[in-house]
């Protein structure tokens, strides 16, 4: 889940590629293994079932309580074995992927984790989620390419794919590949309890959740180390982690300042981060840690909804959007302006939107609307999640940008969280034809910013050249550098169609108490917060 991430005012740079560097208070990995860590966040998980959630906050929990066959080591751009002791494509066409499990694996309750459990987990994920993302709340598109699964004994598992897919290891390295206990998770419906059973570094001791706008939202999760764990994770630097979700960034900020949380997740507002950076220069106890960020913010359209079924109307919107003003205004410079669907630092990134829509010209936008034959002002409602960074201020600025020249009339519709947008009751139900969405990648490859993004928000967007020629060609390229030229063409096509307009690329910033160590070592391009790497020093 990449650009250089920096705290320029502090003279501290943290750059991750295939190695790990340290920045700020999180630079040491030497902490007390008996430490208890409290992590505060604003974005709350939507479900504890990996087949029922496809959001950043839920996956943050999944990475820590479930295992996957392969996973991303800190700083790595290629997944390596985790629950498996080996995995590889076993044919030249990249359609047969075989793994051998570690022997003696167990779930947190002592149940056996074998090849049948892995097969069950994947088949359940596929059963509860359509491959095109049109039904279910989980990451169906990431496993939609599986044709069948076979097992060999208790440790052999083979995936037979419908088509070549060089990215399959990355696609199953996150929530889509989470292995669950078949005795606990029903095969025909989501798990709705609060003590799910996995085989990750931690087990769930307790969890509290509530319902907001018809959707589940986490209140807290309490985790302790899993005594049965066998996998690739490094030695835990703590024994217990409590994750607490706050009703607003202000409440999270106040808890941090009062010492009630050890770590504030990447959920503080840009202004709060700027204030903490200034305080850090003045020598206060709270530290700001920065790291690579490849999450992106986009404005998206349901391309079946009139008049946004016309590319010219969407292009007019793209022309009026000023990414630089958004990054420097509501985001306070804590994000970088983004001019492509694929962020900077991911192989194949270009600046297609910057090339096509650089002038922010009202006259050009008016010309496209006239050519489309629509009357102005074009009235529509922009839906956005209030749990996004500076969500209200950002929506207000975009409204101002689009209403220049009287070409558009924009109403604002704030919803509680991003799961409302990506869930069946939101954009997937065709209720939000124009929306602001966030995307945190499942794996650090340009492919994950194309089809999965489109499917997650169910925009009905398609481009034959991308879908039938360019993207399939990249899936046949085991060396991802070979795919970069085609990804450039994909970004050019998506810019011309403007079904998604990129706004900014996230920077990862977390704030910690002065005794906390290890945070920067888990902030990398895979965008995985590895709780076990966080500890407390003297």
In this prediction, residue 463 has a pLDDT band, given cuts at 50, 70 and 90, of very high
For 346, list phi and psi in degrees, rounded to 5.
Answer: -95, 135
Claim to verify: residue 177 and residue 50 sit in the same structural domain: yes
Residue pair 30/533 in contact (Cβ under 8 Å)? The answer is no
Claim to verify: residue 87 and residue 135 sit in the same structural domain: yes
What is the percentage of the chain residues whose pLDDT exceeds 70? 91
In a domain? residue 435: yes
CA distance 484 to 476: 13
Q: What is the pLDDT of residue 387?
A: 67
Q: What is the mean pLDDT of residues 146-175?
A: 97
Average the pLDDT over each of 32-46, 47-61, 446-460, 481-495 and give the range with the smallest value.
446-460
> What is the separation of C-alpha 390 from the centre of its chain, rounded to a whole number of angstroms?
18
In a domain? residue 254: yes
Q: What is the mean pLDDT of residues 252-264?
A: 97
User: Which residues touch 107 (CB under 8 Å, ≥6 apart)?
Assistant: 113, 117, 181, 197, 198, 199, 228
Q: Which of 170, 86, 173, 156 is nearest to 119 (CA)?
A: 156
Average the pLDDT over each of 29-38, 99-108, 287-296 and give the range with the smallest value.
29-38
In a domain? residue 216: no
Number of residues assigned to the chain: 538
In a domain? residue 240: no
Mean pLDDT of the chain: 89
C-alpha torsion sign, points 330, 331, 337, 340: negative
Q: Which of 495, 91, 42 is nearest to 298 (CA)?
A: 495
Look up the CATH number of the domain holding residue 121.
Answer: 3.40.190.10
In this prediction, residue 4 has a pLDDT band, given cuts at 50, 70 and 90, of very low
Look up the CATH number of the domain holding residue 527.
Answer: 3.40.190
CA distance 86 to 467: 32
Average the pLDDT over each of 83-87, 218-222, 350-354, 381-385 and give the range with the smallest value.
381-385
Please state whether 360 falls in left (phi above 0), alpha (psi between -120 and 50) or beta: left
Claim to verify: residue 522 and residue 421 sit in the same structural domain: no
Residue pair 317/501 in contact (Cβ under 8 Å)? The answer is yes
Claim to verify: residue 453 and residue 311 sit in the same structural domain: yes
Claim to verify: residue 288 and residue 303 sit in the same structural domain: no
> Is the pLDDT score of 161 beyond 80?
yes
> Is the pLDDT score of 30 beyond 60?
no
Residue pair 420/279 in contact (Cβ under 8 Å)? The answer is no
Q: Considering its fold, how many domains does the chain have in total?
A: 3
Claim to verify: residue 363 and residue 501 sit in the same structural domain: yes
Residue pair 285/537 in contact (Cβ under 8 Å)? The answer is no
In a domain? residue 529: yes
Average the pLDDT over each of 75-89, 173-187, 418-432 and give the range with the smallest value.
418-432
CA distance 163 to 251: 48
In this prediction, residue 456 has a pLDDT band, given cuts at 50, 70 and 90, of confident
Residue pair 99/177 in contact (Cβ under 8 Å)? The answer is no
The residue among 46 and 458 whose pLDDT is bigger is: 46
Determine the number of helices (DSSP H) and then strands (DSSP E) in the chain: 16, 23
Average the pLDDT over each of 12-21, 294-303, 345-354, 508-517 and give the range with the smallest value.
12-21
- The model's pTM is 0.84
In a domain? residue 340: yes
Claim to verify: residue 334 and residue 481 sit in the same structural domain: yes
User: Which residues touch 538 (CB under 8 Å, ≥6 apart)?
Assistant: 515
Claim to verify: residue 87 and residue 37 sit in the same structural domain: no
Q: What is the pLDDT of residue 417?
A: 63
Q: What is the mean pLDDT of residues 88-93?
A: 96
CA distance 346 to 333: 21
CA distance 455 to 452: 5
Claim to verify: residue 267 and residue 332 sit in the same structural domain: no
Claim to verify: residue 531 and residue 474 sit in the same structural domain: no
Which residue in the block uniquely carries the two structure tokens 């209720």? 431
Claim to verify: residue 329 and residue 401 sit in the same structural domain: yes
Q: Which of 240, 243, 192 is nearest to 221 (CA)?
A: 243
Q: What is the mean pLDDT of residues 425-431?
A: 53
Q: What is the mean pLDDT of residues 142-165?
A: 97
Q: What is the pLDDT of residue 104?
A: 96
Residue pair 160/147 in contact (Cβ under 8 Å)? The answer is yes
Residue-range definition of the domain harbouring residue 436: 296-506
Model confidence pLDDT, tens digit, residues 95-110: 999 999 999 999 999 9
In a domain? residue 241: no
In a domain? residue 238: no
Q: What is the pLDDT of residue 31?
A: 60
- C-alpha distance from residue 27 to each of 13, 281, 524 (Å): 12, 17, 13
> Is the pLDDT score of 430 beyond 80?
no
What is the percentage of the chain residues whose pLDDT exceeds 90? 74
Farthest CA pair distance, the chain: 68
Q: What is the mean pLDDT of residues 199-219?
A: 92
> Is the pLDDT score of 453 beyond 80?
yes
The residue among 248 and 501 whose pLDDT is bigger is: 501
Q: Tokens for 534?
A: 């966080």
Helix (H) or strand (E) run with residue 464 in it: helix 464-464
Please state whether 333 falls in left (phi above 0), alpha (psi between -120 and 50) or beta: left
Look up the CATH number of the domain holding residue 447.
Answer: 3.10.105.10
> Is the pLDDT score of 8 beyond 60?
no
Give the CA angle between residues 57, 146, 524 to the nearest 5°.
Answer: 35
Claim to verify: residue 64 and residue 175 sit in the same structural domain: yes
CA distance 60 to 243: 10
Which residue in the block uniquely carries the two structure tokens 């992106």? 296
Q: What is the pLDDT of residue 299?
A: 96
Q: What is the pLDDT of residue 364?
A: 97
> Is the pLDDT score of 458 beyond 70?
yes
Residue pair 138/51 in contact (Cβ under 8 Å)? The answer is yes
DSSP summary character for residue 465: I
């Amino acid at each position: 889940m990449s650009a250089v991430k920096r705290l320029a005012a502090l003279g501290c740079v943290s750059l991750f590629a295939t190695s790990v560097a340290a920045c700020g208070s999180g630079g040491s990995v030497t902490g007390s293994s008996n430490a208890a860590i409290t992590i505060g966040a604003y974005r709350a998980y939507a479900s504890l079932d990996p087949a029922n959630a496809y959001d950043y906050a839920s996956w943050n929990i999944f990475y820590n309580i479930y295992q996957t066959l392969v996973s991303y080591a800190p700083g790595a751009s290629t997944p390596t074995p985790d629950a498996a002791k080996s995995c590889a494509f076993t044919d030249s066409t990249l359609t047969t992927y075989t793994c051998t499990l570690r022997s003696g694996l167990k779930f947190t309750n002592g149940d056996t984790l074998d090849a049948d459990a892995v097969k069950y987990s994947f088949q359940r994920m596929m059963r509860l989620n359509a491959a095109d993302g049109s039904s279910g709340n989980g990451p169906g598109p990431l496993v939609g390419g599986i044709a069948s699964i076979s097992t060999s004994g208790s440790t052999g598992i083979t995936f037979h794919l419908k088509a070549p897919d060089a990215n399959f290891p990355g696609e199953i390295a996150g929530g889509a590949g989470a292995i669950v206990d078949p005795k606990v998770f029903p095969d025909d419906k989501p798990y709705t309890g609060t003590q799910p059973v996995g085989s990750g570094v931690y087990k769930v001791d307790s969890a509290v959740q509530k319902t907001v706008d018809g959707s589940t939202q986490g209140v807290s999760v309490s985790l302790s180390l899993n005594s049965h764990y066998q996998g690739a994770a490094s030695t835990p630097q703590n024994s217990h982690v409590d994750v607490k979700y706050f009703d607003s960034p202000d409440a999270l900020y106040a808890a941090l300042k009062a010492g009630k949380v050890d770590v504030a997740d990447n959920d503080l507002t840009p202004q709060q981060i700027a204030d903490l950076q200034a305080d850090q220069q003045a020598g206060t106890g709270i530290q700001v840690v920065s790291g690579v960020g490849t999450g992106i913010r986009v404005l998206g359209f349901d391309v079946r909804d009139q008049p946004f079924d016309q590319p010219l109307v969407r292009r007019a919107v793209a022309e009026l959007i000023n990414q630089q003003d958004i990054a420097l205004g509501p985001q306070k410079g804590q994000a970088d302006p983004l001019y492509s669907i694929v962020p900077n630092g991911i192989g194949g990134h270009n600046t297609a939107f910057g090339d096509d829509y650089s002038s922010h010209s009202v006259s050009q936008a008016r010309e496209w609307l006239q050519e489309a034959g629509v009357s102005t002002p074009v009235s529509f409602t922009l839906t956005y999640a209030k749990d996004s960074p500076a969500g209200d201020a950002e929506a207000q600025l975009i409204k101002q940008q689009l209403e220049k020249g009287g070409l558009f009339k924009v109403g604002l519709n704030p919803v509680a969280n991003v799961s409302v947008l990506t869930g069946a009751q939101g954009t997937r139900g065709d209720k939000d034809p124009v929306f602001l969405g966030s995307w945190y990648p499942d794996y650090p490859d340009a492919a994950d910013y194309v089809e999965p993004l489109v499917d997650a928000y169910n925009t009905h967007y398609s481009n034959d050249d991308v879908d039938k020629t360019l993207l399939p060609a990249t899936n046949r390229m085991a060396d991802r550098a070979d795919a970069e030229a085609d990804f450039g063409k994909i970004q050019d096509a998506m810019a011309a169609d403007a079904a998604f307009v990129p706004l900014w690329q996230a920077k990862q910033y977390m704030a910690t108490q002065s005794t906390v160590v290890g945070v920067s070592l888990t902030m990398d391009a895979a965008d995985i917060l590895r709780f076990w790497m966080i500890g407390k020093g003297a």
